[in-house]
Amino acid sequence: MAILNILLAVLSVALILMVLVEGFESLVLPRRIERASRLTPYFYRGFWRIWVAMSRLYPREKRDNVLAIFGPLSLLALMSIWAMGLILGFATLQWSLHVPIRSPDHPPAFETYLYLSATTFITLGYGDVSPETAFGRALADIEAGIGFGFLAIIIGYMPVLYAAFSRREVEIALLDARASSPPSAGALLERVGPCTDDTDLYAFLHSYERWAGELIESHLSYPILMYYRSQHERQSWLSTLTTILDACAFLIAYTPQGKVNYQARMTFAMCRHSAIDLALVFDIPPALPIPDRLPLERLTQLKELIRAAGLEFKDSPVCDERLNELRHLYEPFVNAISTALLLPLPDWLPNHNLPDNWQTSQWDRNDHFFRAREI
C-alpha cells in the first residue's frame, strides 16, 4: 500500500510539472517548440478532427461559421484542461500522502481533497476544509500561488492574442478593394494596371512584406491564431498570403528589373518563409494542389486580362517556365495548410460575377439603398 501511495505521489508531481511546462511553452515562451512529447499539439489535432467531423453535419453555407468557433473554443477548453489537471494533481498528491486536513468528513475521502484543491487553486477559500500540518499548508500555498499566476497569465494572454489577430485582419480587409473577394492575383494585377506610377505598387508590396513578417512571428508564437478565421466572408489569412505570393511570382517572372521587381522578390521571400514555417506546424507533407491552379489555358487568360488592363510585361516561354518554378516553391506548402485547416486556396483569375465585400451589404440585397457595385 505504501508503494502504491508513493507511486501515486510521483505521478501527481509528474502531472503538475507536465501541465506547468505545457502552459509555459504555449503561453509564455514566444517560439516554436519541437519537443516530440508535447501534448498540446495532439490535443489540437484530435479536437480539430472531431470538430471538422461535426461541422459536416451542417449545410455547406454554414460550415465555415461552425469552423470559426473552433479557435476561441479550443483555447478555453485547453486552459480548462490545464486547470483541472493542476487541481487533480494537487488533490491526488495530498490524498496519496495522507496529508491531515480538517473537514466535516471522517476520514476525509478523495472527493474532499479534490474540493480542497479546487477551492485553493481558484483562491476561493471557504475554510470549511483546510490543511492541519505545516507540510499541508505549504502545498496549499504553492497551489494557490500557481492558481493565481495561472489566472494572471490567462488574463494577460488574451489581449496579446487578440491584438495579433486584429493586426493580421487589417491587411486582409485592405486587400478586398485591391484584389476582390475572394482575392486573386489576377484581380490585383488587373486593378494595378491603370496606375502608371510604380510607387503605389512598390508601397503595396512593401506593406505585405511586413505583414508576412508579423504573420510568421505571431503565428509561430501563438499557433492557435491559425485556427482563427477572418471576420469577413470569402477572405482568410491563407488566401491573402497565397494571393500575394501569386502576384509576386508573376511580377518576378514577367516584369523587367527595377524597384517593383526587386520589392516583389523581397515580399515573395518573406511570404514563402511564412508559408513554409507555418506548414511545418501541422506536420503534413507538402504536395502540389490537384488540379493545377494555373494550367496553360488559364495562364493565357490571365495574361490577356492583365494586358487589357494596361500593365506592361514581357511574355516568353522562358517567363512561363520561371513562373512555374516559382509556383513550385510555395504552392506545396500553402496547399498543406489548406488541407489542414479546410481553408480554400484562391484562384488565379478573378470571379467577376461576385462583388467585393465593400460593395454589398444586407441593405443592398434588400434594395433599400443604392448598390455600391454600380460606382
161 CB neighbour count, 10 Å cutoff: 20
Cell numbers describing residue 202: 512598390
pLDDT exceeds 90 at position 70: yes
pLDDT at 39 over 60: yes
Q: Tell me phi and psi for residue 131, to 5 degrees.
A: -70, 150
Q: Is the Cα torsion angle 353, 356, 358, 363 positive or negative in sign? A: positive
Mean pLDDT of 315-321: 94
Residue keyed to cell 497569465:
153
Q: Quick one: which of 16, 34, 46 has its CA closest to 150?
A: 16
Tens digits of residue pLDDT in 345-361: 999 999 888 888 777 76
The predicted model gives 283-301 an average pLDDT of 92
pLDDT tier at 60, thresholds 50, 70, 90: confident
For residue 368, pLDDT beyond 50: no
Q: What is the mean pLDDT of the chain?
A: 88
State the virtual CA torsion across 192, 333, 223, 226 in degrees, nearest 10.
50
The angle formed by the CA atoms of residues 28, 31 and 32, to the nearest 5 degrees, is 120
* All three cell numbers of 300: 493565357
User: Based on the number of CB atoms within 10 Å of its own CB, is 271 exposed (0-12), middle (13-18) or buried (19 or more)?
Assistant: buried
Provide the CA 101 distance to its chain's centre, in angstroms: 45
Cα gap 17→242, rounded to integer Å: 40
Class for the domain spanning 2-155:
mainly alpha
Least confident residue range of 14-23, 120-129, 161-170, 182-191: 120-129
User: Tens digits of per-residue pLDDT, 254-277?
Assistant: 998 889 999 999 999 999 999 999
Rounded alpha-carbon distances, angstroms, from residue 142 to 20, 26, 86, 138, 220: 13, 21, 11, 6, 31
Q: Identify the pLDDT of residue 369.
A: 43
Element (H, E) at 14: helix 2-23
Instruction: Please list the residues that pair with 101 across neighbouring strands.
Output: 131
Helix (H, G, I), strand (E, B) or coil at 111: helix
Residues 191 and 219: their CA atoms lie apart, in Å, by 30
The H or E element spanning position 101 is strand 101-102
Helix (H, G, I), strand (E, B) or coil at 295: coil
Which has more confidence, 170 or 41?
170
Instruction: Give the residue-averaged pLDDT of 111-122.
Output: 92
User: What residues pair up with 131 in beta bridges, in sequence order?
Assistant: 101
Domain with CATH 1.10.287.70 in the chain: 2-155
Instruction: Please name which of 369, 350, 346 lies closest in space to residue 234, comparing C-alpha atoms.
Output: 346
